[in-house]
Amino acid sequence: MNRNRNAARALALAAATLGCAAGARAQGTSQNVTVTVRPSQTVDQKIADETRGKELRRIAEEKLAAAESARAADATPKALLRRARTVFIESDTSFFESAQLQNELRKRDEFDAWGMAILDGNWDRRNVADIIVEVDRPLFTYTFTYKITARDTGVLLATGKVTAFDGNAAAPKIAGRIIDEMKKARDEAKSKK
């Protein structure tokens, strides 16, 4: 039955090919078309191929996960913070604007000396930054929290909180804490003492 079906398919394909070739000859050029008829796979062969494909995908995913894990393990928070050159700042509260912290960081001499750059603008810039600083303020408090994460690995580099009346008073405090964390990572805090 499979042979009859395959033969019927081959004849239909040949007829369609000849029809195309005849149409092509009517336009004045001839084309040679080669048709290869292969027997179809059995159900067992199809299942074996699908199983083999699933196994290969699983192995590839495991290798990728192991490589990501090794890369994250090799990068200590201190090393990631030391290598950081670009920063993206986002605020998760209406009581604090990202620009407030950006301005305070730009005022710091260390920030300029390290060759740091602040990425501003839309959310897509976040995907380019080395580190991401997220600032939040829980409701009904004067506590501003911040966390610094490495964008590519997701490793948490530093966290902290400051108490301030508003974003204008919190921004210089948070900037100072961020600079202190970076100094520790660069071992500059010890050398100056």
Burial of 96 (0-12, 13-18, 19+ CB in 10 A): buried
| Whether 131 and 51 share a structural domain | no
CATH code for position 126: 3.30.160
CA 72 to chain CA centroid, Å, is: 14
Tens-place pLDDT, residues 175-186: 999 999 999 988
| Whether 137 and 174 share a structural domain | yes
Model confidence pTM above 0.85: no
Tens-place pLDDT, residues 70-118: 776 667 888 888 889 999 999 999 999 999 999 999 999 999 899 999 9
| Whether 49 and 144 share a structural domain | no
Spatial contact of 167 and 142, defined as CB atoms under 8 Å apart: no
- Average the pLDDT over each of 36-40, 111-115, 139-143 and give the range with the smallest value: 36-40
Residue whose pair of structure tokens reads 């369609």 in the numeric block: 16
| Whether 54 and 147 share a structural domain | no
Kindly give, in sequence order, each residue whose CB lies less than 8 Å from that of residue 188, ignoring residues fewer than 6 positions away.
110
DSSP-assigned beta bridge partners for residue 133: 89, 148
Residue 124, amino acid: D
Indicate the pLDDT class of residue 20, thresholds 50, 70 and 90. Answer: low
Q: What does the DSSP assignment read for 95-152?
A: T--HHHHHHHHHH-HHHHHTT-EEE-SSGGGGGT-SEEEEEE--TT--EEEEEEEETT
Q: Is the pLDDT of residue 169 over 70?
A: yes
| Whether 86 and 55 share a structural domain | no
Spatial contact of 142 and 163, defined as CB atoms under 8 Å apart: yes
- First-to-final CA distance of the chain: 89
The domain total for the chain is 3
Domain of residue 70 covers 41-74
- What distance in Å separates the CA atoms of residue 45 and residue 48, rounded to the nearest whole number? 5
| Whether 164 and 114 share a structural domain | yes
